[in-house]
Structure 1
């Protein structure tokens, strides 16, 4: 089972250039070769029809997204939504040739769920379109898929903390294995060669900074007790690698002009999967920089049949 996770750069301008989307569709078809599951972030809501039509033509006949939420909230003048542009959301799709099927979008609820006795019911973000929870049917089990885009904290403050916390707590309390969490987490700031995780604001004091650090560490490392692993790091380890090990080339002006191992930036895009999905390969595809500021993350899994 091949999974692709990709931030397709649909935040600005309000109307993403058609040519960029056409190139991304071409990439999915020719370079990625029709992954079984695709999880896209930053899909521009003003280009929803184009994305749906193009992906359907590629054979992604089962498709769910949060662009309807983004549209409704983007047209709201109820505070605090006037401070958020709500331009984009997430999209998850399954290819018709895949052995996974019955893609179902789930909507968050604070009325129902395994929350009895909990102090919090974990749905307090003002940007729900950044969290897409769906399920698909495997041969003998149901796979939970969480497609998440954490907004930059420099622009949206504590909304990043809320998105990460909502996702983490919902998975910890409500999801059974197998489970797949993927997307652009805008975290961490960096990782050391020995595996040490350095979250944003780790060198700042105060309650907000502490919550920030905890939220990033939880989403990236805290699901190990649930039997979930960072697939890229499990496959490749840390330190100097001979492959692309960042997804957002923040420190390389033209990532296509240098070898993949020389691209410098941040590893913001992640795929965290249950052990029993049996990850076999995982990589960031350098070629994806041709049509996005993020490299696609691709993984090959072998769930038990």
Structure 2
């Protein structure tokens, strides 16, 4: 089972150039040979039909997304939604060649949920389109898929915390099956060679800063108690690697012009998966920088 997770850079401009989408679809066809499951972040709601039609054309006929939520909230004048652009959401699709089927979107409720021991009900973000929850069936097994993009904290502040908290709490207290969490978490600030994870605002004190730090660390490392692992780190470890180990080249002007180990930036895109999924490979693909500001993350599982 091959899974790809990718931020396709559909926030700005909101009317994503059709040429960029076509290049990204060509990448899925020619560079990575149709992964079984794709989880895309920052899919422009203004290009929903383009994405779905073109994905259908290359064999991704089972598609779920949150672009309907993004559209409805983006047209709302009710506070606080006038302060959010709501221009994009997430999309998950399964290829026809995959042995699994029955991709089903789940819509968590604020009335029913795993709230025991929680201070808040686990669904309180103003940008719910950033969290796509679904299931897919394969080999008589249900796989729960979480496709998440945390908004940048510098732009949206507490909303980033809420997205991470909502996702972590729902998985930690509610997931009953094999689980894969993937997406662009806009975290951490950095990782040390000894495996230490440094969250944003780690040097600050105060209630919000401590909550921020906890939210990032919970989503990145706290699900180990649920039997879930950081797939990339489980495969490659920490320290200086000879492969690409960042997904957002924030400090390299042309990431296609240098070797993978010389690209400088942040590892914002992650896969946290149930260990029983038996990961065999995981990498960031430098070629994806040719049509997005994020490198796609690809993992192979043997289940």
Q: In which range does the TM-score fall when normalised by the shorter chain?
A: over 0.9
Q: RMSD of aligned C-alpha atoms?
A: 0.9
Aligned CA distance change for structure 1 residues 265 and 118 (closer, same or farther; 3 Å)? closer
Q: What SS does structure 1 have at the residue aligned with 2:180? A: strand
Structure 1-normalised TM-score? 0.98
Q: In the TM superposition, what are the counterparts of 1:1-305 in structure 2 within 5 Å?
A: 1-115=1-115, 118-303=118-303
Aligned CA distance change for structure 1 residues 205 and 115 (closer, same or farther; 3 Å)? closer
* Residue 140 of structure 1, CA deviation: 1.8
- C-alpha distance after superposition, 1:115-169 (max 9, x if no partner): 3565432000000000000000021211000000000000001000000000000
Q: What SS does structure 2 have at the residue aligned with 1:161? A: helix
* Residue 114 of structure 1, CA deviation: 3.5
Cα distance in 2 for residues equivalent to 1:118 and 1:44: 33
Cα distance in 1 for residues equivalent to 2:105 and 2:83: 27
Cα distance in 1 for residues equivalent to 2:227 and 2:61: 31
Cα distance in 2 for residues equivalent to 1:113 and 1:153: 26
Cα distance in 1 for residues equivalent to 2:206 and 2:294: 32
Q: Answer with 202-211 or 290-299: which moved more.
A: 202-211
Cα distance in 2 for residues equivalent to 1:240 and 1:14: 37
Segments of 5+ residues of structure 1 without an aligned counterpart are none
Q: What SS does structure 2 have at the residue aligned with 1:179? A: strand
* Residue 36 of structure 1, CA deviation: 0.4
Cα distance in 2 for residues equivalent to 1:118 and 1:294: 34
Cα distance in 2 for residues equivalent to 1:163 and 1:141: 27
* Residue 108 of structure 1, CA deviation: 1.3
Segments of 5+ residues of structure 2 without an aligned counterpart are none
* Residue 32 of structure 1, CA deviation: 1.1
Cα distance in 2 for residues equivalent to 1:201 and 1:118: 24
* Residue 177 of structure 1, CA deviation: 3.2
Q: Answer with 14-23 or 240-249: which moved more.
A: 14-23
Cα distance in 1 for residues equivalent to 2:253 and 2:118: 47
Q: What SS does structure 2 have at the residue aligned with 1:223? A: helix
Q: Answer with 69-78 or 118-127: which moved more.
A: 118-127
Q: Is the 8 A contact 2:279 2:299 kept in 1?
A: yes
What count of residue pairs does the alignment treat as equivalent? 303
* Residue 109 of structure 1, CA deviation: 0.2
Cα distance in 2 for residues equivalent to 1:200 and 1:40: 24
Cα distance in 1 for residues equivalent to 2:118 and 2:63: 33
